Amino acid sequence: MKRDKTKFLKFSGLVLSLAVFAFASYALYWGFVYRLPRSEPVLLDLRVDKSYENPRNDRCFMICAGLANNPHGYPGHCYIIWDRCEPQRLQYTDSDGFVPGRVEDLIPSLYSDIRGLMADDALVGNMRNFDYVAVRLDRQLYDRARAVRHEYLKNPTFHTGVRDCVAYVDEIAQIAGLKTPPRQFVYPLDYLERLKRCNSSND
């Protein structure tokens, strides 16, 4: 009996050690890879008529991703910068993103619904390893894309990997006419990289 207990303790210790090693290795991998330079930002022109500039109808926004606003940057953040196609003077822009209502709810959001909120000035603190896809589009689609914010305000349910910051920008990207990759349980910077690949053939 005592021998069986000793074997069990040794086995449990081995499993725990492997789990700690795997977690530490993953943390080191994540901390390194997600600080490497990203691919070049892209501009996608989805206007119906691209032959001339039409200031009354032409609109633009940027789908952005970066490390999150915490010391480790984990797990990253996706957000929208409205009415801008280039990364100059972004401090004067209108940006928003969908986030957990409370920091302490981030872990529970992995397995259950929590209350989220629409964060204004979403680019503040979320620009480390900044990456973006800029989209030019017609005003009708732009107005529909902006209306997604109101749907999230009416139903602020947040669930990591299901209805989170990636889901928010993904809905906007779809309305704009972009091809979108699978969005469930994907890091924001990875989502943006895949979004670029899905639309690499667009003009």
> Residue 125: pLDDT above 60?
yes
Residue with the larger pLDDT of the pair 15 and 69:
69
pLDDT in tens, 168-191: 999 999 999 999 999 999 999 999
pLDDT of residue 45: 96
pLDDT of residue 95: 97
Q: CA angle, corner 60, sides to 95 and 170, nearest 5?
A: 65
The residue whose two tokens read 């069986």 is 4
pLDDT of residue 106: 86
Give this prediction's pTM. 0.87
- The arithmetic mean of pLDDT across residues 121-129, rounded, is 93
Side-chain-side CA neighbours of 137 within 13 Å: the count stands at 23
Question: Percentage of the chain surpassing pLDDT 70?
Answer: 85
Q: What is the 3-state secondary structure (H, E, C) of 140-158?
A: HHHHHHHCHHHHHHHCCEE
> Residue 25: pLDDT above 80?
no
> Are 96 and 123 in contact, with CB atoms under 8 Å apart?
no
CA distance 87 to 139: 21
> Residue 203: pLDDT above 60?
no
Question: Percentage of the chain surpassing pLDDT 90?
Answer: 69
Q: What share of the chain is helix, strand, coil (3-state, %, to 5)?
A: 40, 20, 40
What is the band of 24 on the pLDDT scale with cuts at 50, 70, 90? low
pLDDT of residue 15: 66
pLDDT of residue 64: 97
Residue-range domain boundaries for the chain: 1-33, 41-198
The residue whose two tokens read 């009708």 is 140
Residue 185 Cα distances to 83, 103, 152, angstroms: 28, 19, 19
pLDDT of residue 72: 82
- The arithmetic mean of pLDDT across residues 48-58, rounded, is 92
Take residue 36 and report the two structure tokens written for it. 């490497």
Lowest-pLDDT range, 11-15, 91-95, 132-136? Answer: 11-15
